[in-house]
């Protein structure tokens, strides 16, 4: 039979299922059969066995006996499963660096890409969140002086309803003004103040904060942890680019599903084209990725008119390309007329591993600037890389996260397992940016400077955006702010990206590239 459907290989709205909720089909430790026991030991086995079959670098993984998945049994179920993922991630070595492909300089020994989800990240990717609607960061503003700023606020959230914006300085949390940075991380042995702020913002249902707003007014606000629909377009505006130039600026914070993100993107780009924008700025500083299909749509909105060739190609391990993936037959995709096994679906993805451009909208800018930083990851980097062979792509900011690989969400017990199962390359064969993309270095055009949290999105006085405006007007990036920030900016970088901070904060920010696009299922029997 032949059936065209919209593929989302991720546990969402009950799409992927194995059995009843209390009894998941998981492979036994030998991989020769299945069991309906929901024991966490079998989940540990499953993590190993799925990795051995489907992981992009599976041939470098050890045997079951030498790895012993069931030895990862401390710290509670969720923590122990992530510990297992961390351990598995360190075996595959990148010959170019001599270090694991999943090596993180801020978190040595921990997985850079692989993680276990309890459903929280999946819900957020589909546009559903339940929190206060903002994130925060520490910034060194003078010697021994660290301030806490709001990094971004989602429209429609509790924080937005209280008039909070990026650039607001947090001066007190729940009446406590003794919240200055006092250590390298969170938890036992780290700073008490850090824990106070983190737990108040991420582990509570009610929050009172005192903030200095951008207008100079101090205000105390009370927030309730509420549900809201994510609007990933945080800001879009038109800026003066000098004679013959108009700059369209958009802050885009996460690649949520097409149903959620595409209408917002379309509206922003209609605004740009209607106003004659000549130069585009896409702010991806805090965008950790999300759905591949949304990245494709953004690329199609950005790419100049007349481009319809190859956008990118995907590559898999020999098991997936050769159809040697029996465990994926335990993963069922049901589109209402199937069901199909995930093995069948992936076979089609392997057979159709290229994606072409299909221009969307009417914007015909010849140059695009991406504002980037260490939190710019995965689908964000894919968006950038896809456009590099076809137009003038400029990166402004700091080195990106470095994630040229993506994954399918695998339903294992009550958890969803994410680890790299494919890599990508653009039409020029460029990919493999495991160390990230550094502006102005290694073939990436642009200018390296540092993020300043004290300015709202789209503010032309933001040093990073100011540099771009100067380039559009004068053909050169400003160096003034880089000189002023030289020492403190480097210290700030180390401060907010120390190992402990990165490990703890990464649990609150999705970083990934989830494969989901239209494919055709051919000659597949209903299971």
Output b/e per residue, 428-455; b: 16+ Cβ within 10 A. eebbbbbbbbbbeeeebebbbbbbbbbb
Confidence band of 183 (pLDDT split at 50, 70, 90):
low
Please tell me the total count of domains within the chain.
1
Whole-angstrom Cα Rg for the chain: 23
The CATH code of the domain that includes 187 is 2.30.42.10
Mean pLDDT value across residues 250-255:
96
pLDDT above 70 (res 505): no
| Domain membership flag for residue 389 | no
- Has residue 494 got a pLDDT over 70? no
pLDDT for the residue 503: 37
Looking at residues 227-233, what average pLDDT do you find?
94
Mean pLDDT lowest among 48-62, 93-107, 127-141: 127-141
The residues, ordered by sequence, that sit 6+ positions from 223 with a Cβ below 8 Å of its Cβ are 132, 158, 159, 162, 206, 207, 208, 209
pLDDT in tens, 284-304: 999 999 999 999 999 999 999
Residue 221 lies in a domain: yes
**74's tokens:** 């401390």
CA pair distance 24, 142, nearest whole angstrom = 54
Round to whole Å and give the CA distance between 300 and 120. 29
Task: List, in order, residues 6 or more apart from 61 with CB less than 8 Å away.
Answer: 48, 51, 52, 55, 67, 88, 91, 92
The residue ranges of DSSP E strands in 7-133, in sequence order, are: 16-17, 26-27, 34-35, 93-94, 99-100, 115-117, 128-131
- Across the strands, what pairs with 501? none
Structural domain contains residue 261: no
Crossing angle for the helix pair 40-54 and 77-88, to the nearest 10 degrees? 20
For residue 158, is it within any domain?
yes
Once rounded to an integer, what is the mean pLDDT over residues 9-15? 29
* Portion of the chain with pLDDT greater than 90, in percent: 65
- Residue 120 binned pLDDT confidence (cut-offs 50, 70, 90): confident
Confidence of residue 38 (pLDDT cuts 50, 70, 90): very low
pLDDT score at 92: 98
- Mean pLDDT, residues 350-365: 94
Q: Which of 167, 170, 262 is nearest to 210 (CA)?
A: 170
Mean pLDDT of 225-230: 92
pLDDT band of residue 136 (cuts 50, 70, 90) is: very high
Burial of 313 (0-12, 13-18, 19+ CB in 10 A): middle
Render pLDDT for 392-435 as a digit per residue (tens, 0 to 9): 999 999 999 999 999 888 989 899 999 999 999 999 999 999 99
Helix 258-274 to helix 292-302 angle (10° resolution) is: 10
Percent of the chain with pLDDT over 70: 80
Cα distance between residue 57 and residue 89, in whole Å: 9
Residue-averaged pLDDT of the chain: 84
pLDDT above 70 for 57: yes
Burial grade of 1 (CB within 10 A; 0-12, 13-18, 19 or more): exposed
Tens of pLDDT, residue by residue over 197-221, are: 989 999 999 999 999 999 999 999 9
Which residues does residue 369 pair with via DSSP β-bridges, in sequence order? 281, 394
* Pairing verdict, β 512-514 and 289-291: parallel
Helix axes 480-496, 463-474, angle to 10 degrees: 140
State residue 453's pLDDT score.
93
pLDDT band at 140 (very low <50, low <70, confident <90, very high): confident
pLDDT at 346 (0 to 100): 86
Degrees, nearest 5: CA angle 278-284-290: 120
Q: How confident is the model at residue 524 (pLDDT cuts 50, 70, 90)?
A: very low
pLDDT tier at 487 (50, 70, 90 boundaries)? very low
User: How many CB atoms lie under 10 A from the CB of residue 292?
Assistant: 25
What pLDDT sits at residue 263?
Answer: 97
113 within some domain = no
- Give strand pairing partners of 207: 223
pLDDT of residue 31: 44
Does a structural domain hold residue 266?
no
Cβ pair 298, 290 in contact under 8 A: no
175: CB partners within 8 A, 6+ apart:
208
260: left (phi over 0), alpha (psi -120 to 50) or beta: alpha
Q: Residue 121: which pLDDT band, with cuts at 50, 70 and 90?
A: confident
The pLDDT assigned to 509 comes to: 55
pLDDT (mean) for 367-394: 96
Alpha helices in 98-155 (DSSP H): 120-125
Residues 70-94, mean pLDDT to the nearest whole number: 96
User: Taking a C-beta distance cutoff of 8 angstroms, is the pair 93, 100 a contact?
Assistant: yes
Residue 178 domain boundaries: 128-229
- Does the pLDDT value for residue 186 go beyond 80? no
Q: What is the average per-residue pLDDT within 263-287?
A: 97
Q: What is the structure's pLDDT at 27?
A: 44
Position 318 scores a pLDDT of 97
Residue 434 falls within a domain, yes or no? no
Strands (DSSP E) contained in 143-232 are: 145-153, 169-173, 206-212, 218-224, 226-229
Q: Which residues contact 215 (CB under 8 A, 6 or more apart)?
A: none
Domain contains 451 = no
CA angle 507, 512, 516 (to 5 degrees): 135
């Amino acid at each position: 039979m032949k059936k065209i459907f919209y593929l989302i290989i991720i546990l969402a709205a009950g799409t992927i299922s194995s059995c009843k909720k209390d009894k998941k089909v998981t492979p036994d430790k030998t991989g020769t059969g299945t069991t309906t026991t929901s024991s966490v030991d079998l989940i540990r086995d499953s993590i190993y066995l799925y990795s051995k079959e489907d992981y992009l670098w599976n041939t470098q993984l050890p045997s079951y006996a030498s790895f012993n998945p069931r030895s990862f049994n401390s710290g509670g179920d969720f923590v122990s499963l992530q510990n297992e993922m961390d351990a598995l991630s360190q075996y595959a070595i990148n010959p170019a660096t001599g270090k694991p492909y999943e090596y993180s300089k801020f978190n040595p020994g921990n997985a850079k890409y692989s993680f276990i989800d309890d459903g929280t990240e999946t819900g957020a990717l589909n546009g559903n969140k339940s929190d206060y609607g903002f994130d925060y960061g520490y910034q060194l503003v003078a010697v021994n002086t660290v301030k806490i700023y709001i990094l971004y606020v989602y429209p429609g959230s509790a924080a937005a309803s209280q008039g909070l914006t990026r650039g607001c300085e947090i001066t007190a949390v729940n009446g406590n003004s003794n919240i200055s940075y006092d250590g390298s991380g969170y938890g036992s042995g780290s700073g008490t103040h850090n824990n106070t702020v983190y737990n108040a913002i991420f582990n509570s249902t009610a929050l009172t904060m005192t903030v200095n707003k951008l207008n100079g007014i101090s205000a105390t606000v009370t927030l309730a942890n509420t549900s809201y629909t994510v609007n990933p377009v945080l800001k879009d505006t038109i800026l003066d680019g000098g004679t013959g130039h108009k700059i369209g600026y958009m802050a885009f914070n996460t690649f949520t599903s097409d149903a959620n993100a595409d209408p917002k993107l379309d509206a922003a780009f209609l605004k740009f084209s209607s106003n004659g924008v000549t130069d585009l700025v896409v702010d991806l500083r805090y965008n950790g990725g999300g759905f591949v299909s949304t990245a494709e749509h953004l690329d199609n909105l950005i790419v100049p008119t007349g481009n319809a060739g190859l956008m990118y190609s995907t590559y898999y391990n020999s098991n997936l390309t050769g159809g040697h993936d029996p465990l994926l037959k335990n993963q069922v995709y049901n589109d209402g007329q199937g069901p199909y096994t995930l093995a069948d679906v992936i076979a089609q993805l392997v057979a159709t591993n290229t994606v072409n451009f299909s221009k969307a909208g009417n914007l015909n800018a010849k140059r695009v600037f991406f504002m980037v930083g260490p939190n710019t990851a995965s689908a964000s980097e894919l968006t950038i890389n896809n456009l590099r062979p076809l137009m003038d792509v400029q990166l402004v900011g700091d080195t990106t996260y470095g994630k040229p690989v993506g994954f399918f969400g695998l339903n294992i017990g009550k958890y969803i397992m994410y680890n790299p199962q494919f890599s990508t390359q653009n039409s020029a064969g460029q990919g493999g940016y495991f160390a990230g993309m550094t502006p102005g270095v290694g073939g990436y055009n642009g200018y390296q400077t540092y993020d300043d949290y004290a300015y709202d999105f789209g503010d032309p006085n933001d040093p990073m955006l100011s540099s771009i405006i100067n380039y559009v007007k004068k053909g050169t990036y400003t160096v003034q702010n880089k000189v002023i920030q030289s020492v403190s900016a480097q210290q700030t970088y180390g401060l907010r990206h120390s190992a402990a901070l990165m490990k703890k904060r990464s649990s609150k920010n999705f970083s990934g590239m989830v494969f989901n696009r239209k494919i055709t299922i051919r000659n597949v029997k209903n299971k």
